[in-house]
Amino acid sequence: FLLSLKLENQMKGRLQKQICQVVLDHFEKQYTTELGDTWTSVRDVLTCPLYWQYAVLLNKFSQSAELENTLRVKGYHPAFQGPLPYLPASLKCYIRRTPGKFPAQKHQAGKLKEYYLLNAASVLPVLALEVKDGEDVLDLCAAPGGKSVAILQCAYPGRFHCNEYDDLRSRWLKQTTESFIPDPLINVITVSELDGRQIGNLKPELYDKVLVDAPCSNDRSWLFSSDIQQATHRLIQRKELSSLQFQLLRSAIKAVRPGGSLVYSTCTLSQAENSNVINLVLNSCSNVVPVDISEMAKAVSQEFAFLSGLQQHELLVLPEKGRAWGPMYVAKLKKV
């Protein structure tokens, strides 16, 4: 026990050294103001990868009963169960309370992977979107593709448009879809590299459901920026992100049909990129209304910790020890 404690402290020391102080100082100032005392416990998890957990999203197109047994033996259990408003039986995502990562599978041409490793909170925007068979779906900022894969575990869209503006990330997205989706279904998927801000004008009222998993200040990875210049540049650019997010959401509203819905998500704690963007959209777009997602949050509150005091159409997952999921902000709107 003492040896493992010693190793853990050594490891912790090594990991502490890698934290980018410029970013941490910036977060410290902003999140102490926005989250109060909660920030201390969130910061402890974000700055210590030893606490991090990974979920295993099974691929229904490459099913293996053996894999489920292995996961159960290793202490994994289904992340989502019980009275969720939307939970397709085909969506299987396993988690366990203890930190650690299940071994990743390598990309092999022509061979489907059996599972996708991700932050379990990443599945919440997909559950909020409630995709049904035959619906036309747009994933506006789709790379690296985890949420696209999760959507396809839930339902068979009529058309599925996965868009990624960044060239390198778009290639990553294509590789992900090839690794998880079988040939016949690949035909319903369109992968494009359009500017997400233009899609609403190019494809007006074409989709039943739109997911906007927006580019954001990724709190987890930014804290470990190895290049101080890059980190400083990111923090300067951070001020402009909310404007981009607002434009992407406006575009998504144009792209969705009346009666259709859209989900906005980020992996940051930043109020400027979360609630403020949604409030700006609700105040400036008369053709969208908020959709209550509090029942979904209530149903998964055993596995996820949420920030209290938000509106019913939004939630923010806060990482904590033993439930180190998030940050993940999710908000749902409907076009009228």
Residue 15 pLDDT level (bands cut at 50, 70, 90): very low
Q: Is 297 annotated for ligand binding?
A: no
Q: What pLDDT is recorded for position 17?
A: 52
Other CB atoms within 10 Å distance of the CB of residue 101: 11
Q: Is 132 annotated for ligand binding?
A: no
Length reported for the chain:
336
Average pLDDT over residues 125-137: 98
Average pLDDT over residues 216-222: 95
Is it the case that residue 26 has pLDDT exceeding 50?
Answer: yes
Q: What pLDDT is recorded for position 100?
A: 87
Question: CA torsion 269→275→276→277, rounded to 10°?
Answer: 100
Average pLDDT over residues 108-124: 94
pLDDT digits (tens, 9 = 90+) for 75-97: 999 999 979 999 999 999 999 99
Residue 1 pLDDT level (bands cut at 50, 70, 90): low
Q: Is 260 annotated for ligand binding?
A: no
Nearest Cα neighbor of 300 from 159, 154, 95 is 95
Q: DSSP string of 62-74? A: G--HHHHHHHHHT
* Dist. CA 221–CA 267, nearest whole Å: 10
Other CB atoms within 10 Å distance of the CB of residue 144: 15
Q: Is 89 annotated for ligand binding?
A: no
Please give the structure tokens belonging to residue 214. Answer: 């927006």
pLDDT digits (tens, 9 = 90+) for 28-76: 999 999 999 999 999 999 999 999 999 999 999 998 889 999 999 999 9
* Dist. CA 180–CA 111, nearest whole Å: 9
* Dist. CA 164–CA 252, nearest whole Å: 14
What percent of the chain is modeled with pLDDT above 90? 86
Q: What pLDDT is recorded for position 4?
A: 54
> Mean pLDDT score of the chain, rounded to an integer?
93
CB-CB contact of 296 with 84 (8 Å): yes
Q: Is 17 annotated for ligand binding?
A: no
Nearest Cα neighbor of 215 from 255, 246, 184, 245 is 245
pLDDT digits (tens, 9 = 90+) for 289-319: 999 999 999 999 999 999 999 999 999 999 9
Is it the case that residue 191 has pLDDT exceeding 50?
Answer: yes
Is it the case that residue 186 has pLDDT exceeding 90?
Answer: no
Is it the case that residue 110 has pLDDT exceeding 90?
Answer: no
Is it the case that residue 14 has pLDDT exceeding 50?
Answer: no
Measured at the CA of 235, the angle between CA 233 and CA 238, to 5 degrees, comes to 110
Q: What pLDDT is recorded for position 184?
A: 84
Measured at the CA of 158, the angle between CA 63 and CA 265, to 5 degrees, comes to 75
Go through the domains of the chain in sequence order and give each one's CATH number. 18-54+121-335 (3.40.50.150)
Q: What pLDDT is recorded for position 67?
A: 96
Q: List the catalytic residue out of 20, 48, 216, 267.
A: 267
Is it the case that residue 220 has pLDDT exceeding 90?
Answer: yes
Q: What pLDDT is recorded for position 303?
A: 96
CB-CB contact of 273 with 242 (8 Å): yes
pLDDT digits (tens, 9 = 90+) for 235-285: 999 999 999 999 999 999 999 999 999 999 999 999 999 999 999 999 999
Q: Is 147 annotated for ligand binding?
A: yes
Please give the structure tokens belonging to residue 189. Answer: 């998927």
Supply the pTM of this predicted model.
Answer: 0.94
Q: 242: Cβ–Cβ under 8 A, 6 or more apart, which residues?
A: 272, 273, 276, 277
- Write phi, then psi, for 227 (nearest 5 degrees): -105, 115
Q: Is 144 annotated for ligand binding?
A: yes
Q: Is 164 annotated for ligand binding?
A: yes
Average pLDDT over residues 17-34: 94
20 catalytically annotated? no
CB-CB contact of 164 with 141 (8 Å): yes
Q: What pLDDT is recorded for position 160?
A: 97
Q: Is 8 annotated for ligand binding?
A: no
